[in-house]
Amino acid sequence: MEAVIEVEAAPLPAPGNLASGALSKKTIVRVPLTDTSTATLIRPLGAFERMLHRHMEAHPMHFSLVAELAGVVEPARLRAALAAVQHRHPLLAAHVEDRPGTRLGFYRPAVVPPIPLTVLHAAAGHTWQQVAAEELGTRFDPSAAPLVRAVLLRESPVSATLVLSFDHTVADGLSAVFVLEDVLAVLNGHKLAVLPVPPAQEQLLARLPSTLVPAAATSPAEAAPAAPLDERLSALVPMRPFDGVAPDLSTITFDADLTSRLVQRCRAEGTTVHAALVAATTQVMSKMGQREVVRVFTPFNFRPLLGDVRDCADYFSATRTGFLPEQTQNLWELARLTGAQLAQARSEAGIRGISAAVEQFIPLDADHAAAAGFMAFGLSSEALISNLGVLDLPETGAVRPTAIWGPVLLTQFQHESVIGVATFRGELRLVCATHAPVPELLPLIRATLAAATAVPGSGAKNL
């Protein structure tokens, strides 16, 4: 089944008939409507998956997870491990088709192609940063399974780096971690059970008993008027036309001492490490003069609400935080404000509310314009920080991880900085992807947090 290339010239409408004006010309890779395919339906896409898929027709949002490995990793054994993982996770054997009636669905071809594996050698000048950047410049064809691929960068007989890349329709950041853990398990001699088809997140939320207490009725006279929103906090950011150019990638590590100090200080300040990272990024970008108002978009996993499911599927939501200049002077006050906003979005009410909005604006027949408009309305920001949290991967096998980086991602907004965060073996690591590189961004974020955790009461106001 061939992908259809189309060029459109219409602006992207945002929800509520707000025109985003995000892009005047874009190339769309669209799965053609068909009823002649011999592939078997796995399940229809849910509303959240439809939104991602339709948006990615012009604005790819695939992502990578990078694992530095110790041990002997032979390509043949890795191919066998990838085959086992593909057999375990149904969506890793799927492509997307648009059929009458069902519309968008995950389909399994009669013959499932294996997960592609490219083998490179560091001796030839390759680095994992270069590989991951090139992966972001290479879009997936959604009509061709599988929507995952791998690159093995061999560095020595006993060390290598594995880069796993996923179409965002079939996986989220933690899905990639689970897949990595499964690959390592097979490489270390373990067998994997086959998992059932993972439901769409809307199905799981519908099945989940609600713990929400109905709000008491409030008369219009009693309701407090909503404060007007500063237009700088809701300004739309234009999209960057996807051109296949690899972005700039930069990395930085917080050593074990700084990571520990940061965790302890966040607890003492009544906030979280992620909120502190968002606050530091906001301060740094504001002081560097990039933006008067800095908004940061945060995707977050809500598997705990669903029972900590370990399927490869999209079980995440997202929210955006943003503050006016007068609110960003003290790091810890800003972190607490950020944490409060994030906690509201992460609550059951917040998750259900976001899910309901997606279902309302992205019906079965939603097209690229609807999805891209909705995404521009909700995602427009100066930075995105995707935090995988503290990862607990086995370190005792013959093949074991020594460092994890990611997710490595772009959302295709102009001038965006997308920061992936992962904490493993006591060290927090940041990787930033962007087409508008600012070399000092990550060092200044680390310096800000180092200063704020070095002396009690420090707000790192002078960095």
461 within some domain? no
Distance of alpha carbon 92 from alpha carbon 189, whole angstroms: 21
Amino acid sitting at position 252: I
382 within some domain? yes
Q: Are residues 196 and 240 in the same domain?
A: no
Q: Are residues 310 and 443 in the same domain?
A: yes
Region 292-297: mean pLDDT is 88
State the burial class of residue 225 (Cβ atoms within 10 Å of its Cβ: 0-12, 13-18, 19+).
Answer: exposed
CB 408 within 8 A of CB 63: yes
State the burial class of residue 375 (Cβ atoms within 10 Å of its Cβ: 0-12, 13-18, 19+).
Answer: buried
85 within some domain? yes
CB 293 within 8 A of CB 307: no
**What strands, in cross-sheet order, belong to the sheet with 316-322?**
248-254, 427-434, 417-424, 383-390, 295-301, 316-322
**H-assigned helices in 240-347:** 256-268, 273-287, 303-306, 331-346
Q: Are residues 435 and 288 in the same domain?
A: yes
Residues 6+ apart with CB under 8 A from 46: 199, 200, 201, 202, 203, 314
Q: Given pLDDT bands bounded at 50, 70 and 90, which one contains residue 238?
A: confident
Cis amide linkage into residue 146, ω under 30° from 0:
yes
Q: Are residues 268 and 170 in the same domain?
A: no
Q: Are residues 66 and 142 in the same domain?
A: yes
pLDDT of residue 213: 54
Q: Are residues 179 and 47 in the same domain?
A: yes
pLDDT of residue 5: 28
21 within some domain? no
Q: How many structural domains comprise the chain?
A: 2
N- to C-terminal Cα separation, the chain: 55
300 within some domain? yes
Distance of alpha carbon 298 from alpha carbon 354, whole angstroms: 13
CATH of the domain at 74: 3.30.559.10
CATH of the domain at 382: 3.30.559.30
Residue 298, pLDDT > 70, answer: yes
Give the tokens for residue 188: 């270390």
6 within some domain? no
245's enclosing H/E stretch is none
Residue 225, pLDDT > 70, answer: no
- CB hemisphere CA count around 258 (13 angstroms): 16
Model pTM score? 0.89
Mean pLDDT across the chain, nearest whole number?
87
Q: Are residues 263 and 142 in the same domain?
A: no
Distance of alpha carbon 101 from alpha carbon 361, whole angstroms: 19
Q: Are residues 294 and 161 in the same domain?
A: no
Q: Are residues 365 and 434 in the same domain?
A: yes
Q: Are residues 372 and 289 in the same domain?
A: yes
188 within some domain? yes
Q: Are residues 102 and 239 in the same domain?
A: no
Q: What DSSP character marks residue 292? A: S
Indicate the range of 34-38, 159-163, 444-448 predicted with least confidence: 34-38
Region 243-250: mean pLDDT is 95
Q: Which of 152, 179, 201 is the last residue of a domain?
A: 201
399 within some domain? no
Q: Are residues 291 and 371 in the same domain?
A: yes
Distance of alpha carbon 310 from alpha carbon 379, whole angstroms: 26
List the domain range (segments joined by +) for residue 351: 235-392+408-454
